[in-house]
Amino acid sequence: MPGCEGSAFVKREDLTAYVDRELSPEEEQALSREIADDPRMLREVSLLLRQRLMLAEVMSSEQISAARTGRARRVFRVAVPLAAAAAVLLGIGANLWWKGTGGPAAATVLQAERAERARIIDGAKTRRALAEGARLAPGDSVEVARSGTLRFRYAGEESYVQAGEQTILRMEASPEGAKRLYVTSGTLKVTVAPQPEESRMVVTTPHAALTLVGTELSLDVTGNRTQVDVTDGTVDVTGPDGSKKTRAHAGQHVTATARCIGPPFWRAGATVGQVRVLRCFSVPVPRPTSVVFDGTALWLSSAGNRKLYRVDAVSGNLLRTIELDKSAGRADCLAWDGKLLWGAYRERAGEKHGVCAIDPATGDIVESIDTARGITGLAFGDGKLWGAFHRGKYMHIATIRPPQDPERPLLKVGYPESFVFAHQDGSLWMKRVGKLLVRVDPGSGKNLGAFVVLPFGGSYMAAGGGGTFWLLHRHGYHVTLIERPQTLLRVRLEQRR
Amino acid sequence: MDMNEFGRLCEDHRRAVLSYAYACCRDLAQAEDIVQETMLIALEKREHYFQNADFGAWLVSIARHVWFRERGRRKLQTASPEFVEANAMLVFEPELYKDEAWEEERKVLEKCIEKLSGPDRTIIRSHFDGNMKYAEIADAMKQGLSWVKVRMHRARQALRRCVDAGLRRERFREA
């Protein structure tokens, strides 16, 4: 470590522990003095802090926000004993198989349980009919003819692979005994028992490499794309060369082509936690920041320009774009009053905050209302336009139109993170970043319960009518329509996620 | 200040500010919130910025206020040593966080993590992904605290060497 070699009193590992905040206060103080006196150590600290951020980003890209807290610890604590147990079991299994047949490890042996119109192509390119009970070894390929089917199982465990008609796959060799399949084309259903972290099953196609983590999934491979549909567990999808990683969870599907891997979309009809997914599609809007539903279509604003986009609520196709007046700034949040769009602006000419009514036909601003504070959320319901804003420690809501009665206290509703909200079923609904959608009584500000929208992410949302909500995934450029559960959880708004 | 110039400066310094915020709170999502809030405040107060002042230092000073506010509000502990916080401008140099080099290095790092030995990878993942302290990792792996400390250091150094070698290979290939 070049930065610490000059100091005889600093152990090499201490600087790493220092930036990780793992030293005692006395050690930390002493080392701080050393660092202050030694530019090389200061440089080393800079590089270690830089590496910390990069590692955090890499890990974060591997885990979507849903699994960030808690899961990683669970994975560790369960994975170690599991890995140990699996290693012992696999070791025993491999040993027995080796003694019995002189072949490879048990985990890499596939045995056909059901085979109709399927052929095996061995290493010498010899084709022969695949019979039930036949074993496949690494290097063997399998072809399933039209109206044929093949189901096989990994010896010694509850892991199955079912190949549909016109499927071509190859069993890949893996020196460490892990499961490896290459699917050229066709359909595949895979159910794999939990595997040790070091030897997770990997299914490769011409467009993607899928790492399975105790998973059930379906795979559809054609000449130009691979579609992965996850039924249970999680799957890491990367390009065949290991580039770009996307993690798909149960209820999600991902499409990979030779050029890119799409974001994970929720499957219509999937039940995820408390909510049911009704629809999910991408939106052709650059850096979308806000969404509102006008009864037939979605309106979205963009952080990258001053445009509003009208998008078909079924297909996701762009219907229309309107350009906002330059003096109005960008619409950070939107509301729909039945005729006009309302947009809130953090900043306008003269450093003022306010909301504007926008004619959806022309984009003209037909009315402006200045507000004393920056509005961070807008909602329209029961003939009133509601605004949410920060005041001191808490988030507050007030009516903007008609103006709030000065005699009436503002409603305190929770921490500033509850900045996205909508009006539905006579209540205001406030979304806390990444976790809960909270029902708030507009009269008293009291919370009436909440439901968990995780893992839909910390995005924007709009009321969809009839107990549904649109969630905008800002980074994934797509929207999801969800149906809320009938039963809400009791929550304390003061508790942070 | 011209808005284009302002946007460019913000973009140039964004990751250094993110690194500072992450060092403070050890939560990437929260750090991103702090950066977002910092940029909004900077935008609102951009007229208060002196043209000849260090823009990065100005952003970090705003980020520090945002972090102090959040820390007080949520009763959080600062996760970075006091010295680092007090000398943020020395430690978080924008030059180290240039976008192009960052993305390239990050791709190599992803591959390097996979090349680590099992225990090293577990330690790195537990600390960064599971947010576990060294002592917790030591308990889980049934090892001593010193073992984790040394192993963590070696793993980080191994990653650095691997990334350097990977980048050299990439550049050689391009040449």
Judge whether A44 lies within some domain.
Answer: no
Query: Do A344 and A388 contact (CB within 8 A), yes or no?
Result: no
Inspect the interface and report whether the beta carbons of A63 and B129 lie closer than 8 Å.
yes
Query: Which of A16-25, A249-258, B5-14 shows the lowest per-residue confidence on average (mean pLDDT)?
Result: B5-14
Please determine, for residue B26, whether its predicted confidence score (pLDDT) is greater than 90: no
Question: For chains A and B, what is the number of CB pairs under 8 angstroms?
Answer: 140
Inspect the interface and report whether the beta carbons of B128 and A62 lie closer than 8 Å.
no
Inspect the interface and report whether the beta carbons of B130 and A36 lie closer than 8 Å.
no
Share above pLDDT 70 across residues of chain A, in percent, rounded to a whole number: 78
Q: Which residues of A touch B125 (CB under 8 A)?
A: 59, 72, 76
Residue predicted with more confidence, A60 or A72: A60
Please determine, for residue B138, whether its predicted confidence score (pLDDT) is greater than 60: yes
Query: Which of A98-107, A127-136, B14-23, B105-114 shows the lowest per-residue confidence on average (mean pLDDT)?
Result: A98-107
CATH number, residue A450: 2.120.10.30
| Domain containing residue A390 | 276-483
Residues 6 or more apart in contact with residue B83 via CB below 8 angstroms = A32, A35, A36
Which of A22, A32, A433 faces B82 most closely, judged by CB atoms? Answer: A32
DSSP state, B77? P
A7 pLDDT band, cuts 50/70/90, is very low
Judge whether A8 lies within some domain.
Answer: no
Q: What is the chain A residue with the closest CA to B115?
A: A198
Please determine, for residue A66, whether its predicted confidence score (pLDDT) is greater than 60: no
Q: How far is A151 from chain B (nearest CA, A)?
A: 32
Average pLDDT of the segment spanning A402-421 = 68
A8 pLDDT band, cuts 50/70/90, is very low
B36 pLDDT band, cuts 50/70/90, is confident
Return residues 72-131 of B near A (CB < 8 Å). Answer: 73-74, 79-84, 87, 90-93, 96-97, 102, 105-107, 109-111, 113, 118, 122, 124-131
Inspect the interface and report whether the beta carbons of B84 and A45 lie closer than 8 Å.
yes
Q: Would you say the pTM of this structure is higher than 0.90?
A: no
Q: Which residues of A touch B80 (CB under 8 A)?
A: 19, 21
Are residues A173 and A239 both part of a single domain? no
Query: Do A120 and A128 contact (CB within 8 A), yes or no?
Result: yes
Cα A177–chain centre separation = 31
Residue predicted with more confidence, A119 or B170: A119
Q: Which residues of A touch B122 (CB under 8 A)?
A: 76, 80, 197
Please determine, for residue A362, whether its predicted confidence score (pLDDT) is greater than 70: yes
Are residues A180 and A209 both part of a single domain? no
Are residues A461 and A414 both part of a single domain? yes
Specify the pLDDT at position A459.
Answer: 63
Inspect the interface and report whether the beta carbons of B84 and A198 lie closer than 8 Å.
no
Which of B33, B92, B149 faces A49 most closely, judged by CB atoms? Answer: B92
Are residues A138 and A235 both part of a single domain? no
Please determine, for residue A113, whether its predicted confidence score (pLDDT) is greater than 60: yes
For chain A, give the mean pLDDT: 77
Specify the pLDDT at position A297.
Answer: 94
Inspect the interface and report whether the beta carbons of B132 and A56 lie closer than 8 Å.
no
Are residues A249 and A151 both part of a single domain? no
Average pLDDT of the segment spanning A191-216 = 85
Specify the pLDDT at position A1.
Answer: 38
Specify the pLDDT at position A187.
Answer: 94
Q: Which residues of A touch B107 (CB under 8 A)?
A: 243
Decide which of A267, A287, A305 is a domain's last residue: A267
Specify the pLDDT at position A219.
Answer: 93
Query: Do A285 and A475 contact (CB within 8 A), yes or no?
Result: no
pLDDT tens digits along A208-229:
999 887 788 999 999 889 999 9
For chain B, give the mean pLDDT: 83
Specify the pLDDT at position B49.
Answer: 73
What is the count of structural domains for chain A? Answer: 3
Specify the pLDDT at position A176.
Answer: 67
Average pLDDT of the segment spanning A474-485 = 81
Judge whether A312 lies within some domain.
Answer: yes
Q: Is B54 on the interface with A (CB under 8 A)?
A: no
Query: Do A385 and A400 contact (CB within 8 A), yes or no?
Result: yes
Q: Which residues of A touch B105 (CB under 8 A)?
A: 54
Q: Which residues of B touch A64 (CB under 8 A)?
A: none
Inspect the interface and report whether the beta carbons of A20 and B152 lie closer than 8 Å.
yes
Q: How far apart are CA A385 and CA A373, in angstroms?
A: 15
Q: How far is A439 from chain B (nearest CA, A)?
A: 23
Q: How far apart are CA A205 and CA A202, in angstroms?
A: 10
Are residues A148 and A224 both part of a single domain? no
Please determine, for residue A315, whether its predicted confidence score (pLDDT) is greater than 70: yes
Q: Which residues of A touch B29 (CB under 8 A)?
A: 65, 68, 433-434, 458
B125 pLDDT band, cuts 50/70/90, is confident
Domains defined for chain B, CATH in brackets: 3-97 (1.10.1740), 99-174 (1.10.10.10)
Q: How many of the other CB atoms lie within 10 Å of CB of A152?
A: 25
Please determine, for residue A106, whether its predicted confidence score (pLDDT) is greater than 70: no
Are residues A336 and A407 both part of a single domain? yes
Decide which of A241, A267, A293 is a domain's last residue: A267
Are residues A146 and A233 both part of a single domain? no
Q: How far apart are CA A223 and CA B85, in angstroms?
A: 54
- For A81, the token pair is 């004993």
Q: Which residues of B touch A245 (CB under 8 A)?
A: 110
Inspect the interface and report whether the beta carbons of A347 and B44 lie closer than 8 Å.
yes
Which of A90-99, A379-388, A466-475 is the most confident on average?
A379-388
Inspect the interface and report whether the beta carbons of A68 and B29 lie closer than 8 Å.
yes
A144: left (phi over 0), alpha (psi -120 to 50) or beta: beta
Inspect the interface and report whether the beta carbons of A51 and B160 lie closer than 8 Å.
yes
Please determine, for residue B173, whether its predicted confidence score (pLDDT) is greater than 80: no
Average pLDDT of the segment spanning B77-85 = 77
Which of A55, A68, A76 faces B140 most closely, judged by CB atoms? Answer: A76
Query: Which of A54-58, A81-85, B15-19 shows the lowest per-residue confidence on average (mean pLDDT)?
Result: A81-85
Are residues A263 and A306 both part of a single domain? no
Judge whether A220 lies within some domain.
Answer: yes
Most A CBs within 10 Å: which of B14, B128, B133, B146, as the mutation test of the A interface? B128
SS3 labels along chain A: CHHHCCCCCCCHHHHHHHHCCCCCHHHHHHHHHHHHHCHHHHHHHHHHHHHHHHHHHHHHHHCCHHHCCCHHHHHHHHHHHHHHHHHHHHHHHHHHHHHHHCCCCHHHCEEEEEEEEEEEECCCCCEEECCCCCEECCCCEEEEEEEEEEEEEECCCCCEEEECCCEEEEECCCCCCCCEEEEEEEEEEEECCCCCHHHCCEEECCCCEEEEEEEEEEEEECCCEEEEEEEEEEEEEECCCCCCEEEEECCEEEEEECCCECCCEECCCCEECCEEEEEEEECCCCCEEEEEECCCEEEEEECCCCEEEEEECCCCCEEEEEECCHHHCCCCEEEECCCCEEEEECCCHHHCEEEEEECCCCCCEEEEEEECCCCCEEEEECCEEEEEEEECCEEEEEEEECCCCCCCCCEEEECCCCCEEEEECCEEEEECCCCEEEEECCCCCCEEEEEECCCCCCCEEEEEECCEEEEEECCCCEEEEEECCCCCECCCCCCCC
Cα A213–chain centre separation = 16
Residue predicted with more confidence, A436 or A384: A384
Please determine, for residue A51, whether its predicted confidence score (pLDDT) is greater than 70: yes
Q: Which residues of A touch B90 (CB under 8 A)?
A: 42, 46
Are residues A154 and A179 both part of a single domain? yes
Share above pLDDT 90 across residues of chain B, in percent, rounded to a whole number: 9
Decide which of A149, A184, A219 is a domain's last residue: A184
Specify the pLDDT at position B84.
Answer: 81
Specify the pLDDT at position A311.
Answer: 94
Are residues A230 and A88 both part of a single domain? no
Residue predicted with more confidence, A208 or B79: A208
Share above pLDDT 90 across residues of chain A, in percent, rounded to a whole number: 17
Please determine, for residue A86, whether its predicted confidence score (pLDDT) is greater than 90: no
Specify the pLDDT at position B132.
Answer: 85
Are residues A474 and A416 both part of a single domain? yes
Specify the pLDDT at position A163.
Answer: 92
Q: Which residues of B touch A3 (CB under 8 A)?
A: none
State the residue for tokens 């320009």: A305
Most B CBs within 10 Å: which of A23, A35, A54, as the mutation test of the B interface? A54
